[in-house]
Amino acid sequence: DEWASAVAAIRGLPADGTILLVCHVNPDGDALGSMLGFGLGLRRLGRAPLATFPAPYELVPPFDELPGLDLLIDPADAPAAPDLLICFDAASVGRLGELADRLETAGTSVVLDHHASNSRFGDVPIVEPTAAATAVVAEALLTRLGVALDAQIAECLYVALSTDTGSFKFDLTTPSVHELAARLLATGIKPADISRRLFDSRPFGAMKLYGDVLARASLEPAAAGGAGMVWSYATLDDLERHGQRRHVLEGLIDAVRVAEEADVTCVLKQVGAQEWSVSLRSKGAVDVARVAVGLGGGGHRLAAGFTGYGSLTEVVDLVRAAL
């Protein structure tokens, strides 16, 4: 099967074979954590993998303190034709940006992912839609390779698992997720420190910016056959006014989605004059992945996103119409 093929592809690589690890653009905790954790595991096997992600090549808090950062190289320096390519947490080829061509040039490509919408690209696609995070798939493959977990690998995988499960709160938080968490914690990593860094720590200016965004949120009751929605937005001017950078908006939707009247939450983050990064969340009844895919994006049933072009009103209208 594909697991055996992936093990054979890694084990069969000559000692001097080049291994390139890649993950999706604007990497989140699962993309970086599963990639770096797996990369550290390959090192324990005596390999020297390189890891990267598409432009913009920038590491932002809280991911700038992950173990294994020394695996990372600028995508401009990534080998043009690695012997082995391993791809993490990318639902589609497009999410690999300028690195997508490595799927053609690599000797073999292994794809580790958990998005239901994954098109099963690559030579050896291991796609597990029931997995809470790509980290679950990565750890299972490390186990098959005979790599023992250590604290560095475990911290990477714990960051991945806890981000994609929203601190073990989302619906894919199965007994096996907690069993994996237990194996990771057994290495001695500090869950309280990691969780505070990931979820409960941001600059004072960002807190004030969240205040502005919450104050201007709108609640739209369910129309006939539709879903109630709460939505808000953050502009480039908001960031400027509070002296903040874009990455502080990562947890914004979690502050907005608490409105109990709404089934769907939408947060629009301005990227340019006519460009918005749109995040969608559902409490169950609505499949927001379908909404996002219809608008050129993707994601999971209860958490998805897309890039919207036009004015704020135009982009919100698109979401309303799709709902």
CB 115 within 8 A of CB 298: yes
**Which region, judged by CB under 5 A, interacts with Mn ion, from 99-107, 128-136, 200-208, 247-255?**
128-136
C-alpha pair distances (Å), 21 with each of 17, 56, 139, 161, 213 = 13, 17, 15, 19, 37
As a whole number of angstroms, the distance between CA 229 and CA 218 comes to 8
Q: Least CB distance from residue 131 to Mn ion, whole Å?
A: 9
Write the DSSP assignment of 39-70 as a string of letters: HHHHHHTT---EEE-PSS----TTGGG-TTGG
Which of the choices ligand 5GP, Mn ion, none does residue 113 contact, using the CB cut-off of 5 to 8 A by kind?
none
Of 82 and 113, CB closest to ligand 5GP: 113
Sequence-ordered alpha helix ranges (H) in the chain: 2-11, 29-44, 102-105, 134-144, 151-164, 175-185, 191-199, 204-215, 236-241, 252-256, 288-294, 312-322
Q: Which residues of 148-175 are buried (b: 16+ CB within 10 A; e: fewer)?
A: ebeebbbbbbbbbbbbbbbeeeeebbee
Write the DSSP assignment of 284-303 as a string of letters: SSS-HHHHHHHTT-EE-SSE
As a whole number of angstroms, the distance between CA 129 and CA 285 comes to 19
**Which region, judged by CB under 5 A, interacts with Mn ion, from 86-94, 197-205, 208-216, 281-289?**
86-94
Which of the choices Mn ion, ligand 5GP, none does residue 136 contact, using the CB cut-off of 5 to 8 A by kind?
none
Q: Which residues contact 139 (CB under 8 A, 6 or more apart)?
A: 37, 149, 157, 180, 183
Closest CA to 20 of 1, 3, 42, 5: 42
Residue 164 sits in the site that holds Mn ion (CB under 5 A): yes
Among 88, 89, 256, 282, binds Mn ion (CB under 5 A): 89
Q: Least CB distance from residue 96 to ligand 5GP, whole Å?
A: 11
Q: Are strands 50-52 and 218-220 parallel, antiparallel or unpaired?
A: unpaired
Of 67 and 299, CB closest to ligand 5GP: 299
Position closest to ligand 5GP via CB: 305
Which of the choices ligand 5GP, Mn ion, none does residue 36 contact, using the CB cut-off of 5 to 8 A by kind?
none
Q: Least CB distance from residue 193 to ligand 5GP, whole Å?
A: 23
Write the DSSP assignment of 262-280 as a string of letters: -SEEEEEEEEETTEEEEEE
Residue 156 sits in the site that holds Mn ion (CB under 5 A): no
Residue 287 sits in the site that holds Mn ion (CB under 5 A): no
Q: Least CB distance from residue 25 to ligand 5GP, whole Å?
A: 8
Residue 28 sits in the site that holds Mn ion (CB under 5 A): yes
Which of the choices Mn ion, ligand 5GP, none does residue 102 contact, using the CB cut-off of 5 to 8 A by kind?
none
Q: Least CB distance from residue 165 to ligand 5GP, whole Å?
A: 12
Residue 31 sits in the site that holds Mn ion (CB under 5 A): yes
Which of the choices ligand 5GP, Mn ion, none does residue 31 contact, using the CB cut-off of 5 to 8 A by kind?
Mn ion
Which of the choices ligand 5GP, Mn ion, none does residue 279 contact, using the CB cut-off of 5 to 8 A by kind?
ligand 5GP
Which of the choices ligand 5GP, Mn ion, none does residue 297 contact, using the CB cut-off of 5 to 8 A by kind?
ligand 5GP
Of 30 and 250, CB closest to Mn ion: 30
Find where tokens 């119409």 sit: 321
Site residues (vs ligand 5GP, CB under 6 A): 91, 95, 115, 279, 297-300, 303-307
Instruction: Tell me which residues touch Mn ion (CB under 5 A).
Output: 28, 30-31, 89, 134, 164
